Amino acid sequence: MERQWWQDKVAYQVWPKSFYDTNGDGIGDIPGIIEKLDYLQQLGIGILWLSPVYKSPLADQGYDIADYYAIDPRFGTMEDMDRLLAEADKRGIKVLMDLVVNHCSDEHPWFQKAVADPEGPYGQYFYFRKGKDGKPPCNWRSYFGGSVWSLVPGQTDLYYLHLFHKKQPDLNWENPALRQEIYKMINWWLDKGLAGFRIDAIVNIKKDLSFRDHPVDRPDGLADLHPMFQRPEVQKGLCDFLEELKENTFAPHNAFTVGEVFDTTPDKLAEFIGEKGHFSSMFDFAAHCFGMHEKGWCKAVQPTPTDYRDCCFASQKNAAGIGFLANIIENHDEPRGVSRYLPEGADSDAAKTCLATASLLLRGIPFLYQGQELGMSNTVFPSIQAVDDVSTLGEYQACLEEGMTPDEALAVCARYSRDNARTPVQWTDGPNAGFTTGTPWMPVNPNYTRINVQDQQGREGSVLEYYKKLISLRKDEKYKETLVWGQWEPLFEDQEGLMAYRRRADKDLLVICNLSDSPRSLALPGTIKKVLLTNQEGGPQPGFDRYAAQPWQAVVLEMDA
Ligand code: TEU
Ligand code: CA
């Protein structure tokens, strides 16, 4: 496989609204990101992904775009964006923006023109359909709950399609004029100096145009929309759209693209991220999908560390010889990884750094999410009124419909809510965790007095300092051939709670992470030459071929050739 400029980098996702506020309005902004570039550089970050900062009513926190060519004033100006690109470049950091083109905002001029004249050209930018017997055209449930159809304002029997929120009308990719508008916009940004994009919800752009009903599967009388993605004509159509997109935009710019791809099968991996794939990379969501249930969060099952390992390993096996996955433990749509994958109560710094090691040295490109490097964990929800996120509100409703009490429903939502990832980054132990001098748009996690950058920066043994070591090991000239491009092989798969693997190229390295609270005595495949990294005192010794792994211990070992 040909080597690419992005493969030896570590990426970091900024969710701007909660990153750092510079003007005291309680909302993180682009100048705030610029101020923290040195912090990111010291962490070892080579790629920065910004969640949307485009002009938006923020109904879905920026994933509802009203102008693709403008920065929302709450985040800053286009000059700020240009300055961010220039300042990042000075520090060797490439910038990705979020590409949200399955849908736009109902406040986008395209939609407003379509509403004003449904028969006109902009009506063709969306999916406008007549109702069926006084009801919406089909019974699909949107991702955030409720029907995927809403009445076009001012109409009594004409609906528009929205797979997400009703303020996010789906764009009609069948229309070549719409596709050209999208390509023009992407090229405009790439010409400005973006290195590429994270591509939002992209598998949704191809619809089953028959809009047929699916079997009703919940008390709301609606049906899961997913079966449409399995239809061969939908899969073929998606592939055609993605190829045309790539040829007209990313390929000529040699841009890096990472797709948000759910609902695909292992046999499709080469088509998505192989040498000639639609994207450079795609996120590995195997662990995030684990235990999810068709009824929603109310029936979801929590993964154990062993489940987490098995999911990651299955993905590693699939991707071997095909391409680079983007490995994550969390993002802005997920609860905090340390709260999700570590057993209840086991959120010591050792456990957090153990999980970090297990994830970051897998084959693929690691994507960190803001605050992950501090060990930030889930927040507390005093009531459902304290919830901001639209998807959580839909899931709460589904919990009640399944018969849960309000308290039970709140407990479930607290576990999975996207708001867990969206509390402000904890910079200091001062007021509002140093995120803002004003009132933060969302309350800070009360644990900020304990978990914050100020405390961890420069403190030997902190989660942050460990992340720095881990990232610099992956980038170390001596080991990068092996850790970036080397083979990956699982080890000790029969042992519960142990996530261990071997990376091999010019060096032979073992990564052993004991994600459990009991010690393990391990017979190693060879003799230890050098201990490259450990998250705890006391551990393996050079010259030995056995190692007693302590609870929550992570080690990286170089073995004798
Ligand atoms: O998320 C999409 C998403 O998480 C899923 O709904 C996915 O498309 C689906 O499971 C496919 O089966 C992205 C963003 O990350 C999220 O923040 C936005 O709310 C959403 O798209 C809408 O733009
Ligand atoms: Ca601000």
b/e burial code for range 44-59 (CB count within 10 A of at least 16 → b): bbbbbbbbbbbbbebb
User: Does the CA dihedral 121-123-126-128 come out positive or negative?
Assistant: negative
Q: Active site residue: 64, 260, 389, 508, which one? A: 260
- Quote the tokens at residue 531: 């201990």
Tokens linked to 12: 């970091």
Torsion of CA 99, 103, 106, 112, to 10 degrees: 100
Dist. CA 10 → ligand 1 center (Å)? 23
Length of the chain: 561
Q: Which two tokens stand for residue 337?
A: 């990884």
Say how many Å lie between the CA of residue 75 and the centre of ligand 2: 6
Query: Which helix or strand (DSSP H or E) is residue 408 part of?
Result: helix 406-416
Distance from Cα 200 to the centre of ligand 1, integer Å: 7
| Ligand 1 centroid – CA 49 distance (Å) | 16
Beta strands 256-259 and 498-504 are: unpaired
Q: Which residues contact 373 (CB under 8 A, 6 or more apart)?
A: 43, 463, 464, 467
Q: Note the pLDDT of residue 264.
A: 81
Q: What crossing angle do the helices spanning 349-360 and 305-319 adopt, rounded to 10°?
A: 10
- Give me Rg for the CA atoms of the chain: 24
CA 138 from centre of chain:
30
- Cα of 311 vs centre of ligand 1, distance in Å, is 20
- pLDDT tens series, the chain, 561 aa: 789 999 999 999 999 999 999 999 999 999 999 999 999 999 999 999 999 999 999 999 999 999 999 999 999 999 999 999 999 999 999 999 999 999 999 999 999 999 999 999 999 999 999 999 999 999 999 999 999 999 999 999 999 999 999 999 999 999 999 999 999 999 999 999 999 999 999 999 999 999 999 999 999 999 999 999 999 999 999 999 999 999 999 999 999 999 999 978 889 999 999 999 999 999 999 999 999 999 999 999 999 999 999 999 999 999 999 999 999 999 999 999 999 999 998 989 999 999 999 999 999 999 999 999 999 999 999 999 999 999 999 999 999 999 999 999 999 999 999 999 999 999 999 999 999 999 999 999 999 999 999 999 999 999 999 999 999 999 999 999 999 999 999 999 999 999 999 999 999 999 999 999 999 999 999 999 999 999 998 889 999 999 999 999 999 999 998
pLDDT for the residue numbered 265: 86
CA pseudo-torsion sign 297, 298, 303, 307: negative
Could you say which of 64, 106, 170, 200 is catalytic? 200
Residues in contact with ligand 1 (CB, 6 Å cut-off): 60, 63, 100, 143, 164, 200-201, 204, 260, 262-263, 332-333
Q: What is the pTM of this model?
A: 0.97
Ligand 1 atom closest to the Cα of residue 390 is: 19
Q: How far apart are the first and last CA of the chain?
A: 25
Please tell me the number of the ligand nearest to residue 73's CA: 2
Backbone angles phi and psi of 101, in degrees to 5: -125, 10
> What was the pLDDT predicted at 561?
85
> Judging by beta carbons within 10 Å of its beta carbon (0-12, 13-18, 19+), is residue 344 exposed, middle or buried?
exposed
Cβ atoms of residues 502 and 489 within 8 Å: yes
Alpha carbon distance 552, 350 (integer Å): 6
**Are the beta carbons of 310 and 320 closer than 8 angstroms?**
no
Top mutation candidate among 142, 260, 263, 334 for ligand 1, by most atoms within 8 Å of CB: 260
Distance 471 CA to ligand 2 centre (A): 30
Whether the CA torsion 190, 194, 195, 196 is positive or negative: it is negative
Task: Supply the pLDDT for residue 263.
Answer: 78
Ligand 1, atom 1: nearest CA belongs to which residue?
201
Distance of CA 201 from the midpoint of ligand 1 (Å): 5
Q: Which residue minimizes the CA distance to atom 5 of ligand 1?
A: 201
Kind and range of the H or E run holding 191: helix 176-192
The answer to whether 35 is a known catalytic residue is no
Specify the pLDDT at position 2: 86
The angle that helices 349-360 and 463-475 make with each other, rounded to 10 degrees, is: 20
Write phi, then psi, for 196 (nearest 5 degrees): 160, -160
Cα angle 93, 94, 97 (rounded to 5 degrees) comes to 130
Degrees to nearest 5, angle at CA 118 with 134 and 57 = 95
408 catalytic per annotation = no
Which residue has its alpha carbon closest to ligand 1 atom 8?
201
Instruction: Determine which residue's CA is closest to atom 21 belonging to ligand 1.
Output: 201
The number of the ligand nearest the C-alpha atom of 29 reads: 2
Ligand 1 atom closest to residue 204's alpha carbon, by position in its atom list:
8
E strands, 402-507, in order:
487-491, 498-504
Closest ligand to the CA of 72 = 2
* Ligand 1 site-directed mutation target among 17, 50, 63, most atoms within 8 Å of CB: 63
Give the separation between CA 358 and CA 494, rounded to whole angstroms. 17
**121 within 8 A of 222, measured Cβ to Cβ:** no
Q: Which distant-in-sequence residues (6+ apart) come within 8 Å of 541 by Cβ?
A: 528, 531
Q: Which residues contact 37 (CB under 8 A, 6 or more apart)?
A: 84, 87, 88, 91, 93
Quick one: DSSP state of residue 249?
I
Q: Tell me what pLDDT residue 539 has.
A: 87
Contact of 257 with 265, CB cutoff 8 Å = no
Name residue 499's beta-bridge partners.
513
Measuring CA to CA, which residue among 82, 91, 76 is closest to residue 38? 91
Q: Which ligand is nearest to the CA of 30?
A: 2
